[in-house]
Chain A
Amino acid sequence: MKTSQIKARDHFPVVNFPVVAGILISALICPLVAADDNEAASDPAPEQVAALAEGKALYRGLCSGCHGGSGRGGKGPNLTDDRWLHGDKDEDIARVIQQGVPRTTMKKLGEALEDEQIAKIIAYLRQLGRAPTDSHWQPYMSGDAKLGQALFFDEKAKAQCGKCHTVNKQGGRVGPALDRIAVRRSPEYIMESILQSSKFIDPQYEAVQVVTDGGQLLKGLRVNESNFSIQFREENGRFHSFLKRDLEEFQVLNTSLMPDNFAEQLTVKQLHDLFAFLMSLE
């Protein structure tokens, strides 16, 4: 078996906005950008900044060992998604921090922390779940979200986003669901994902290509991989499982299954509408 695996590390996201992304995107959509020098979002109050900083220090010192520095989990659960096993309200989270979770390694922190400190941790956690916003992107959101939505699901249009992505349980299931995408990802990430689909590939959505011992070439989205086997699903939904040793060739692709020609396929107006729609998914 020939293995030419391209490691995930070859394309980990290094966001260098706006230097690189900005140039590309500006070139595409500049004509529509009105000069808008007003700061779109006003700076948060200093006490709010201080509270978040304290929440961050407490989170990092006390929580990150299990839940990860980014809060996206590791030994302990992910704290940035929508799944809250013990209740999603602030008071539920406060209770878990105060009392711990019996029969797990989640300790009681109630004796060590003031209520106010716990509230700051929760405020920081809520912020961790949100991608950084950037007022610089405000001018680019001049599109019509309604038109963008129509375009997203229009089976005859060139974008055909809904063929592979779901929003509100509608659409295809090949790529990641895009609910709450505006909260989970930054504007530049979203814009770049449309224009350069292979730039950031979620490791959960990598594409693989195999050549079977019969010489058949198959391509699909990886469902699971181990040292000895690969499971993937073709775009048509067909599932395959192979032992790697039985394959002529196996490759993890560093290109996305998503088309990479939207810059040519869509008009600038359509691009703006689509972007506005995605940015409305909070």
Chain B
Amino acid sequence: MAAVRSRNATNFNLLSKQGGVAVTKYPSLQLIANVRGGFGITPLLFIALFVGVSGCGQKAANQARQQAEVAHERAQVATAEAEQLRQELEELKKGANEPDPVSSNAPPEPEPVADPEPAFNEPPAAATAVAIEAAEPVGPVDDEDLLTAQDNNANWLMYGRTYNSQRYSGLDQINKDNVSELLPVWTFQTGVLDGFECSPLVIDGIMYITTPWNHAYAIDCKTGSQLWHYQKSLPENLALCCDAVNRGFAVYGENLYMSTLDAHLVCLDKNTGDEIWDTAITAYNENGEEEQDIYKMAYSATVAPLVVKGKVIIGISGAEYGIRGFIDAYNAETGAREWRFYTVPDADDEAEHAKEALKSWGENSWLTGGGSAWVTGTYDPEFNTLYWGIGNPSPDFNGEVRKGDNLYTCSILALNPDDGTYKWHFQNSPHDVWDYDGVNTPVLVDIERDGQPIKALIQAHRNGYFYCLNRENGEFIYGKPFCEVTWTDRTQGADGLDAKTGRPFVSPNALPTEEGVRVCPGAAGGKEWNPMAYHPGTGLAYVPVIENCAKFTSGKAFFIKGQPYWGSSLTLIDGEASGALRAVDAATGEIKWDVDTRSPMVAGVLATGGGLVFTGDAEGFLTAYDASSGEDLWHFQCGSGHHASPITYTLDGKQYLAVCVGWGGWTAGFAGDGAPWLRDGRRGNTLFVFALPD
């Protein structure tokens, strides 16, 4: 395994202990705690001013300036003492290869000192916000609000926080020094069991969550009180491979949008929870007729929608049942469908790309080809491009009945969000037979390679490779394994991928057989759908990892409409499942630190300007890790396993952390035999909110 262990763990521990003392000794340094050691005081003042003026209006700017001046004064007083401490720290640092780029522990240095070997990029200005101002109300959410979500630290306006889905917030009030004091301030129990996968939205002091079975709530952020409750009326006998889940709302104007288990899209008034419209997602049935109740054909919808320029964009679920996948855009006002892109082509489609894609399907296998799109994509306004991860082909494990590459399954698709037209695609796993359901979020980041800036897209794919593409044209940059990978022939190409095209060299020994063959990763992949986070300050992507090989069998593939279409099965190998949180350098794909965990890590991740990474584990602990070293700084037992993504926001100048907690989802893919202690895992459905004590 290529994993690099948390290097110099002892040194880091030593440093943080020492750093902790320093900060306690000089409380005035807290304000500038987020600044990198060699950053200096004066630039801080300018940044504070800049952030104040540009972000918060005149009043806020004045306050920010005053606070920065106070900080400056205090810091000057402390400088002499700090200098002495710095020297002591320098002693301790000797032998530590990697400086701590987002440390809030290291005391400030009086002069900017050139870092001899910078390991990471400097944190951008956004990461160094000094004080939290009471936020201006957002009101009705417009395109501008969504485009500038990164600067809006008070609110959480979309699934991945920003269109690039970095799940990074610049908030640093909760940071490495004080995170150990974090306490729950309220909880909200929904009472609805099954996997709680929601990424909440926060708009002007109100939190909006969706739960399993398509309930939804608005909650007062100050008190945790319920403001309204909505419940979708659902038919019986839904086809749900992986629990009755939902991943959250999208917002636009005064409306909220939720996809539902019976394959509808509903629009709610965010102030009352009243249903404004309810649109049935339709599809063609086996007779070529447009069907309204497509849940009977085993279509369902669980994705958190993405709103781009007044269009509500969703992807469909159901590739374990032989559906034919698509991505849809609906008019945010009326609910009328504006475009559809079939992720599995149609024989009648005249578009060039579709004709090409059709050739990758043997006979009529495209009719039941799968290709779901159940995780929210990303959007780059500069290129006006929508990026979406496409799921596995159907049937999952029997490739004989669908010969060819099976485009666009297990691919990343780039589309024009205005009309849904094709731009480019990159197929990670051609002709997948291991359910490497390629839906994982394509995160948009700007990296530098060989001195050249690249507008990149990174994805930790279920197939065990961490991919980096040029997001302008889909060009392959690199693909590196981030977990144990045996389905490719690792002796060929670069780690088993063609170095130019990224196409895998599939190992013939890994193809499922009637008796079964052990392949890594297992069918839940090296990483499940739960999103990773990217910290622009460290340049690291924080990947929740599943280490779990499985025995794949291939068998008779029989299609029964509305029923599972797996083409045989997989069996987990006794006691083999474990997990990790790995920090991957987005520029190179190298693993910078690695924290092993007892169970597969299947919760989303949040990175913050406080130098922290938050995620939950299967045993129920929500943990704060040091973004630079992976050291765990705080954890709290939430009472059920984590399968959702933490978020952060502010209210009245104070930073909060929120996370939905409730075990569930497709645990068959990584629990059961692999991690028997998670078999029949205890459910729960509680939202936790944390803050520092006053």
Residue contact B672 to A65, C-beta cutoff 8 Å: no
Instruction: Judge whether B598 is part of the interface by a CB distance below 8 angstroms.
Output: yes
* A residues less than 8 Å from B617 (CB atoms): 226-227
In the bound complex, residues from chain B placing their C-beta under 8 Å from that of A69 are 516, 551, 553, 569-572
The answer, yes or no, to whether B575 is at the interface (CB within 8 Å) is: yes
With A73-B680, A75-B667 in contact, do A112 and B574 touch (Cβ < 8 Å)?
Answer: no
Nearest CB of A to B230, in Å: 19
Cβ A61 vs Cβ B243 within 8 A: no
- CB pair B669 A74 closer than 8 Å: yes
Among the listed A67, A203, A204, which residue makes an inter-chain contact with B668, where contact means beta carbons less than 8 Å apart?
A67
B109 contacts the other chain (Cβ, under 8 Å)? no
B121 to chain A, nearest CB (A): 29
Within 8 Å CB of A77, what residues of B? Answer: 680
User: Which residues between 541 and 578 of chain B lie within 8 Å of chain A, taking CB atoms?
Assistant: 551, 553, 555-558, 560-576, 578
Within 8 A of B (CB), among A192-229: 202-204, 224-228
B380 interface hit (Cβ, 8 Å): no
Q: Contact at B551–A226, with CB atoms within 8 Å?
A: no
CA of A156 to CA of B295, assembled, Å: 65
Q: Does A102 contact B (CB under 8 A)?
A: yes
A64 touches B576 (CB 8 A): no
Q: In the complex where A74-B667, A74-B672, A228-B635 touch, is A61 in contact with B679 (Cβ < 8 A)? A: no
- Using Cβ atoms and an 8 Å threshold, which residues of chain A touch B236? 102
Kindly state whether residue B475 has any CB partner on chain A within 8 Å.
no
Beta-carbon nearest neighbor of B664 in chain A: A75
A74 touches B677 (CB 8 A): no
> Which residues 233-274 of B sit at the A interface, judged by CB distance below 8 A?
236-244
Q: Residue of A at shortest CB range from B601? A: A227
Contact B597 A65 (CB under 8 A): no
Interface string of A51-69 (1 = CB under 8 A from B): 0000011001111111111
Q: Please tell me which one of the listed residues B242, B516, B574, B635 contacts residue A203 in the complex, with CB atoms under 8 A apart.
A: B574
B668, A61: Cβ atoms under 8 Å? no
Is B510 an interface residue when CB atoms closer than 8 A count as contact?
A: no
Residue of A nearest to B554 (CB): A60
Of chain A, the residue at the smallest CB distance from B669 is: A74
Cβ contacts B599-630/A at 8 Å (1 or 0 each): 00000000000000000010111010000000
Whether, in the assembled complex, A107 has its beta carbon less than 8 Å from a beta carbon of chain B, the answer is: yes
Using A60-B555, A61-B558 as known contacts, say yes or no to A228 and B565 having CB atoms under 8 A apart.
no
**Residues of A with C-beta under 8 A to B573:** 9, 12
Q: Given known contacts A74-B679, A105-B244, is B563 in contact with A62 (CB within 8 Å)?
A: yes
Question: In the complex the two chains form, is A61's CB within 8 Å of B551's CB?
Answer: no
Write the nearest CB–CB distance from B512 to chain A, whole angstroms.
11
Q: Which residue of A lies closest to B560 (CB)?
A: A112
A108 CA / B238 CA spacing, docked (Å): 9
Does A259 count as interface, using CB distance less than 8 angstroms? no
Q: How far is the CB of B640 from chain A (nearest CB, A)?
A: 13
CA distance A107 to B560 in the complex (A): 13
B569 and A65 contact, CB distance less than 8 A: yes
Chain B residues near A171 (CB, 8 Å)? none
Q: Tell me the chain A residues, 56-102 only, with Cβ under 8 Å from chain B.
A: 56-57, 60-70, 72-78, 100, 102
> Which interface residue of A56, A63, A68, A74 has the most chain B CB atoms within 10 A?
A74
Q: Is B489 an interface residue (CB 8 A)?
A: no
Q: Does B320 contact A (CB under 8 A)?
A: yes
**Once the chains bind, are B666 and A227 in contact (CB under 8 Å)?**
no
The B633-662 residues at the A interface (CB cut-off 8 A) are 635
A100 / chain B contacts, CB cutoff of 8 Å: 237
Bound together, the chains give a CA A64 to CA B395 distance in angstroms of 14
Nearest-neighbour CB distance to chain B for A202, whole angstroms, equals 8
Chain B residues with CB under 8 A of A68: 571-572, 668, 672-673
B129 CB within 8 Å of chain A: no
| Residue A146 is within 8 A (CB to CB) of chain B in the complex | no
Bound complex: CA A203 to CA B671 (Å):
12
Binary interface encoding of chain A residues 1-13 relative to chain B, with 1 for a CB under 8 A from any of its CBs, else 0: 0000101110011
Q: B275 at interface (Cβ–Cβ under 8 A)?
A: no
Count of chain B residues with Cβ under 8 Å from any Cβ of A?
A: 61
Q: Which residues of A contact B243 (CB under 8 A)?
A: 75, 105
Say whether, besides A65-B564, A70-B673, A107 and B571 are in contact (CB < 8 Å). Answer: no
A109 within 8 A of B: yes
B205 within 8 A of A: no
Q: Which residue of B lies closest to A108 (CB)?
A: B237
When chains A and B are docked, how far (Å) is the Cα of A63 from the Cα of B569?
9
Minimum CB–CB distance from A193 to chain B (whole Å) comes to 14
Chain A residue with Cβ nearest B395:
A61
Complex-state Cα separation, A5 to B244, whole angstroms: 36
B571 CB contacts on chain A under 8 angstroms: 64, 68-70
Query: B576: which A residues are within 8 A, CB to CB?
Result: 8-9, 12
Question: Which residues of chain A have C-beta atoms less than 8 A from B204's C-beta?
Answer: none
B679 and A62 contact, CB distance less than 8 A = no
Q: B553 to A13, Cβ gap below 8 A?
A: no
Evaluate contact between B569 and A64: CB separation under 8 angstroms. Answer: yes
Give bound CA distance, A66 to B667, whole Å.
Answer: 8
A13–B665 CA distance with the chains assembled, in angstroms: 28
Q: Which of A13, A202, A227 has a CB less than 8 Å from the CB of B598?
A: A227
Is B472 positioned at the interface, with any CB of A under 8 Å from its CB? no
Q: Least Cβ distance of A83 to chain B in Å?
A: 10
A112 touches B562 (CB 8 A): yes
A64 to B569, CA, bound (A): 6
Bound complex: CA of A60 vs CA of B567, how far in Å? 8
Beyond A75-B667, A227-B623, whether A61 also contacts B557 by CB under 8 A is: yes
Residues of B within 8 A of A67 (CB): 668
Residue in A7, A9, A61 whose beta carbon sits within 8 Å of that of B565 in the complex? A61
**Could you say which residues of chain B place their CB within 8 Å of the CB of A61?**
395, 555-558, 564-569
Question: Which residues of chain A are near B557, meaning CB under 8 Å?
Answer: 61
Using known A-B contacts A57-B556, A61-B555, A61-B564, determine if residue A73 contacts B672 with beta carbons closer than 8 Å. yes
Q: Give bound CA distance, A228 to B578, whole Å.
A: 15
Q: Specify which chain B residues have a CB less than 8 angstroms from the CB of A224 in the assembled complex.
A: 677
Which residues of A sit under 8 angstroms from B558, Cβ to Cβ?
A: 57, 61
Residues from chain A with Cβ under 8 Å of B597 in the complex: 227
Q: Give the residues in chain A near B395, CB-CB below 8 Å.
A: 61
Q: Does B632 contact A (CB under 8 A)?
A: yes
Q: Please state if B677 and A204 are interface contacts (CB–CB under 8 Å).
A: yes
Which residue among A57, A61, A62, A68 has the maximum number of chain B CB atoms within 10 Å of its CB? A61
| Chain A residues near B40 (CB-CB < 8 A) | none
Contacts of A60 on B, CB cut-off 8 Å?
553, 555, 566, 568-569
Contact residues in B for A63 (Cβ distance below 8 Å): 564
- In the docked arrangement, what's the CA distance between A64 and B669, Å? 10
- The smallest C-beta distance from B515 to any residue of chain A, in angstroms, reads 12
| Chain B residues with CB under 8 A of A75 | 242-243, 664-669, 671-672
Are A203 and B676 in contact (CB-based, < 8 A)?
yes
Q: Is B677 within 8 A of A203, CB to CB?
A: yes
Looking at B239, B243, B571, B572, the one whose CB has the most chain A CB atoms below 10 A away is B571
Indicate which residue in A12, A65, A102, A228 contacts B320 across the interface (CB closer than 8 Å).
A65
Distance in angstroms between the alpha carbons of A34 and B574 in the assembled complex: 36
B180 to chain A, nearest CB (A): 12
27 contacts between A and B (CB under 8 A): A8-B578, A9-B573, A9-B578, A12-B574, A13-B574, A57-B568, A60-B553, A61-B555, A61-B557, A61-B569, A64-B571, A65-B320, A65-B569, A69-B516, A70-B672, A72-B672, A75-B664, A75-B668, A105-B238, A105-B240, A105-B242, A107-B237, A107-B240, A225-B677, A226-B621, A227-B617, A228-B632
Beyond known contacts A61-B558, A62-B566: 5 more, CB 8 A cutoff: A56-B555, A61-B395, A70-B572, A112-B562, A227-B632
Interface residues of A (CB under 8 A from B): 5, 7-9, 12-13, 56-57, 60-70, 72-78, 100, 102, 105, 107-109, 112, 202-204, 224-228
Q: Which 8 A-B pairs have the closest CB atoms?
A: A74-B668, A69-B571, A74-B672, A64-B569, A8-B575, A203-B575, A226-B619, A75-B668
Chain B positions near chain A (C-beta within 8 angstroms): 194, 236-244, 320, 395, 516, 551, 553, 555-558, 560-576, 578, 596-598, 617, 619-621, 623, 632, 635, 664-669, 671-673, 675-677, 679-680
